[in-house]
Structure 1
């Protein structure tokens, strides 16, 4: 439903705004340096960008019958919970190691930021769909193909 170029634009915009917000908030909350948190945030951002592209490709293929600008509240919630849950599982060991904290503490820290990002992602994706609507005439058979 979205072109590769559009998916890349979405990912880069999402991550750029997220990096600024998450680094500032994490440095304050965790009382770590902006450099330490910022470095971790960049690594997590790169992981998230790969996951974002793949997850959204899978999600679009799974629900290809629903236009993105017509996604219901329930579908948007399913989307964000699945995305953030997968990302949490993938990044938890890295967060614990980088911040030198036990897994449980890293889990609680990651959950706090996961909740933050769920709200952020919900708002960002809704706004993105409004600002960059999908062309309804586009052939859905090309989903995921380079264009």
Structure 2
């Protein structure tokens, strides 16, 4: 699979899982209706989808320059921190506005989601790599 197709496939599959996870969490946590939380989840997933594609392109460019190849758990954790950290900057204000809550409450909610998605991102990426193989950036050079 080409690097571009791989990133698109990974991002779409990741966000489908994200909507399935976020919608019930937001519905329960804020005692809100699914008619409110589902569109928010889809909007959050759309933002995350764009960020996922961009972040993975940047990460893989960096990764290709590293002498150590493969994806260690340390590298996977760094990937998860970078990806989720970037989302906080956009999703906290969006959540606060959409649910009519303070930035502090949105940040606290986002921390809960981040913890969930930190684990989800690492496990998802590991499973994706197991099923589709490592990207070229993480493979050993042909000798």
Give the TM bin, normalised by the shorter chain.
Answer: 0.7 to 0.9
CA contact (8 A) 1:2 1:134 kept: no
| CA distance in 2: counterparts of 1:48 and 1:135, whole angstroms | 20
CA contact (8 A) 2:3 2:135 kept: no
In the TM superposition, 1:1-147 aligns within 5 A as 3-64=3-64, 65=66, 66-67=68-69, 70-134=70-134
Given the two structures, how large is their TM-score scaled by the length of structure 1?
Answer: 0.85
Given the two structures, how large is their TM-score scaled by the length of structure 2?
Answer: 0.88
| CA distance in 2: counterparts of 1:110 and 1:9, whole angstroms | 25
Unmatched segments (≥5 aa) in structure 2: 137-143
CA contact (8 A) 2:92 2:110 kept: yes
In structure 2, the CA distance between the partners of 1:135 and 1:47, relative to structure 1 (3 Å rule), is closer
Could you tell me how far 1:29 is from its partner in structure 2?
A: 2.0
Could you tell me how far 1:49 is from its partner in structure 2?
A: 0.5
| CA distance in 2: counterparts of 1:135 and 1:61, whole angstroms | 11
CA contact (8 A) 1:81 1:118 kept: yes
Moved over 4 A (4+): none
The higher-RCO structure (CA 8 Å, 6+ apart) is 1
| CA distance in 1: counterparts of 2:54 and 2:94, whole angstroms | 20
Aligned residues: 135
Question: Could you say what the CA RMSD is over the residues aligned between the two structures, in angstroms?
Answer: 1.8
